[in-house]
Structure 1
Amino acid sequence: MAILSDKDIREYLEEGKIKIEPILDEKQIQPSSIDMRLGDEFKVFKVIRKPFIDPKDEEDVSSYMESTTVEEGEAFIIHPNEFALATTLEYVKVPDNLVARVEGRSSMGRLGVTMHVTAGFIDPGFEGKITLEISNIGAMPVALYPGQRVCQIVFETMTSPSEIPYGHPSRNSKYMGQTSPESSRIKRDYELKK
């Protein structure tokens, strides 16, 4: 596997092999990645009085989170030890012969803010806005602004195209086509076992 360079990224974009909308600003294309911008929708955990989250209960999982939209020019404040879901401003379509990874930008990491906790891998065939799992592991609250470059996406070639890519009807592609932050859909994992 090989990581696409800035030259390759531009060619893939021009040829429509990788689709990213809205159209990128040239400064977003880095030597081996594309900087992605923060959307304006966030999901945060509510303070509730239950002993645990039950991953087998989809209503239970989604009931723990509430959505908020940040108005233009305003900031979302993430406090120390807080976790939030958001999405990229950009809608991405990954071809069947590439995989992608979301990585944090060092400028954000130096503020104590991580952009993906565990889900940085994007399967071939994925299409949608990328969910960001944002945590503040620092000591101070940090302002996050919609449109701000907060993470980067890296594309890697595969040895061959995927035979059954993400989104294929035979797959349980839980987040295909997402356009807003989505709570965990882990309950679907249990439904597959039936």
Structure 2
Amino acid sequence: MILSDREIEAAIRHGFLTIDPVPAEHLWTSTAVDLTLDATLVRWKPGGPAVRPGMPGFNIRRLLEDPDRAERVPITGEGYELQPGQFVLGYTQQAIHLPKGSRLAARVEGKSSLARLGVGVHVTAPTIHAGFGDNPDDPNDRGLPIQLEIFNLGNLTVALDVGMSICQLILEEVREAPVKGYAGQFSGQKSFTELRP
């Protein structure tokens, strides 16, 4: 079941969900909350040997920190011009926490205003699992930003600006509290802005 705006507000109020900072009123719709784009992107550098995601020891976070493979790009006041066919990684300004006992999960989806220009925000990875943002060392942690896979399939160059509505968060009820929370390789992710070179 998808939560309505009133149910999302109640979940935040009762501690079943954290969105930090809480988006402004104009970013709410009947069944979703818009999230905004953080100030730094990462783009992959072409060339080099092939990467092998299925092999033991493969680590995408290490690859992101390799200056021969990836580069951080701050978004300036002019915006970042996403060219046709280009792909970058970005983060939301908001951190999300879905305590596993809250029986909530979420999906991050694109905005129709961007989609109609050919811009998407995820490549088959929309699920924000129950337990996302859990920090066993600090139960009061504000959560984690959501990493976005931003691509331009259109013919127009599209400017990406810091703080623009980049995606929408859709909350869903989980039938029962899961045994374990999210513990994937991105469980400790920080935004590119927070990860200073």
- The aligned counterpart of 2:147 is 131
How much has 1:23 moved relative to structure 2? 2.5
Q: SS state of the match for residue 113, structure 2?
A: helix
Contact 1:44–1:84 (8 Å) recurs in 2:
yes
- The aligned counterpart of 1:52 is 50
- The aligned counterpart of 2:137 is none
- The aligned counterpart of 1:177 is 188
Q: Which amino acid aligns with 1:38?
A: L
Matched, 1:69 2:74: yes
Q: SS state of the match for residue 163, structure 2?
A: coil
Root-mean-square deviation (Å): 1.8
Which of 148, 153, 159 is the aligned partner of 1:143? 159
- The aligned counterpart of 1:162 is 178
Identity, in percent, stands at 34
Q: Which amino acid aligns with 1:152?
A: Q
Summarize deviations over 1:68-89 as a string: whole Å, max 9, x none: 2223x33111111111000001
How much has 1:61 moved relative to structure 2? 3.5
- The aligned counterpart of 1:186 is none
Summarize deviations over 1:86-126 as a string: whole Å, max 9, x none: 00010000122111000101011011100111111111010
How much has 1:36 moved relative to structure 2? 0.6
**Where does 1:6-155 land on structure 2 (aligned, <5 Å)?**
6-48=5-47, 50-55=48-53, 56=55, 57-58=58-59, 61-62=63-64, 63=66, 64-71=69-76, 73-96=77-100, 97-127=103-133, 128-155=144-171
Q: SS state of the match for residue 72, structure 2?
A: strand
More divergent stretch after superposition (22-31 vs 122-131): 22-31
- Unmatched segments (≥5 aa) in structure 2: 134-143, 193-197
Q: How many residues align?
A: 174
Cα distance in structure 2, aligned partners of 1:177 and 1:30: 29
How much has 1:41 moved relative to structure 2? 1.2
Cα distance in structure 1, aligned partners of 2:40 and 2:33: 21
TM-score w.r.t. structure 2 length?
0.82
TM-score w.r.t. structure 1 length?
0.83
Contact 1:20–1:91 (8 Å) recurs in 2:
yes
- Unmatched segments (≥5 aa) in structure 1: 168-172, 182-194
How much has 1:175 moved relative to structure 2? 1.0
